[in-house]
Structure 1
Amino acid sequence: MNRFEPGAIVALRYITRADSTVGMTWPARVVADGDSLVALWIPEGAEYRAWHRPPGEPRRLVPAHWRRETVRLMFPGAAHSVWCSWEGPGRRFRMYYVNFEEPFRRTQIGFDTNDHALDIVVWPDFRWEWKDLDEFEALAASGVFAPDFARAVRAEAGGVLAAIEQRAAPFDGSWVDWQPPAEWTVPALPAGWDTVPPVPWDLRRWAYRPDLAR
């Protein structure tokens, strides 16, 4: 499948564990699409689709607005991405956010993946903290995440923590001063974001219990 040119608008989609349908989805502009890195820009205010569950009703996708400028760094074959974020009119660098997730797959309109619940927040002074560790451990304890898969996620986290401690890329400051080209406008979800067939992860049956997942 062809690479995307810088500035191209793509859809980044989360594919649900239970039935491999399209879930949360973001519009993004491509910063880079190479052999070792895919970088996507999601600006503050971009309209994406998020889950919402009205009382007594099934959850559904609804429009929402992204709250903080983000460049999402994704590494082919890796089970995590690193989000660099900025805030305020001066674009103050806010944090690195490590999101553990399925290795991404390409589609004709962008990229598919899904979240593994576990996250690490890394502040500019390199203090770090877990996020959603309780949720991850609960998914593992309940059997939604298979034991071998849960161990693999923990091992992936160990490698990321070593990179943080060593200030290795991308935690080396190389993205802190990045700026989008002046001509880039806020992207909208491309046509087909909700109809292009998802590309499920080929290890999904090893990782998840579909009857327990959502």
Structure 2
Amino acid sequence: MNRFEPGAVVALRYITRADSTVGMSWPARVVADTDALVALWIPAGAEYRAWHRPPGEPRRLVPTRWRRETLRLMFPGAAHSVWCSWEDPGRRFRMYYVNFEEPFRRTAIGFDTNDHALDIVVWPDFRWEWKDLDEFEALVASGVFTPDFARAVRAEAGGVITAIERRAAPFDGGWVGWQPPAEWTVPELPAGWDTVPPAPWERRLWAYRPDRGR
């Protein structure tokens, strides 16, 4: 499949664990698409789709506004991405955010993955802390995540922590001063974001119990 040119608008989609359907989805502009890195820009105010469950009703995807400018760095074959984020005033660098997730797959309109619940927050002074560790451990304990998969996620996290503590790329400050081109506008989800067939992860049955959770 062809690579996307810088500035192209793509859809980044989470594909649900239970039934391999399209879930949360974001519009993004492509910063880089190479053998080593896919970088996607999601500005504050971009309209994405997030899960919402009204009382007594099934959950559904609803339009929601993204809160903080984010540059999402994804590495081919890796089971995590690193998000650089900025906030006002003055576009201050806020943090690195490590999101453990399925290795991404390409589609005609962008990239598919899914979240593994576990995250690491890395502050500008390189202090780091777990986020949602309890949720991850609950998914393991309940059998949604298989034991082998849980060990693989923990091993991935160990490698990331080593990179953080060594201040290795991308935690070396190389992206902190990045800015989008002035002519880039806020992207919108491209046509087909909810109809283009998902690209499921080939190791899904190794990792998840399909009958438990999303």
Q: TM-score, normalised by structure 2?
A: 1.00
Query: In the alignment, residue 213 of structure 1 is paired with which amino acid?
Result: G
State the 1:213 CA deviation: 2.2
Aligned Cα RMSD in Å?
A: 0.4
- Aligned residue number for residue 98 of structure 1: 98
Consecutive aligned runs of 4 or more in structure 1 exceeding 2 Å deviation: none
Give unpaired runs (5+ residues) of structure 2.
Answer: none
- Aligned residue number for residue 15 of structure 1: 15
- Aligned residue number for residue 172 of structure 2: 172
Deviations 1:89-130 (A, max 9, x none): 411000000000000000000000000000000000000000
- Aligned residue number for residue 3 of structure 2: 3
Tell me the distance in 2 between the aligned counterparts of 1:89 and 1:213: 39
Query: In the alignment, residue 17 of structure 1 is paired with which amino acid?
Result: R
Query: In the alignment, residue 197 of structure 2 is paired with which amino acid?
Result: P
SS at match of 2:7: coil
Does 2:129 correspond to 1:129? Answer: yes
Does 2:86 correspond to 1:77? Answer: no
Deviations 1:138-189 (A, max 9, x none): 0001100000000000000000000000000000000000000000000000
What's the % identity of the aligned pairs? 89
Tell me the distance in 2 between the aligned counterparts of 1:168 and 1:141: 33
Tell me the distance in 1 between the aligned counterparts of 2:98 and 2:86: 15
Query: In the alignment, residue 47 of structure 1 is paired with which amino acid?
Result: E
Give unpaired runs (5+ residues) of structure 1.
Answer: none
SS at match of 2:111: strand
Q: TM-score, normalised by structure 1?
A: 1.00
Deviations 1:63-83 (A, max 9, x none): 000000000000000000000
Tell me the distance in 2 between the aligned counterparts of 1:64 and 1:89: 22
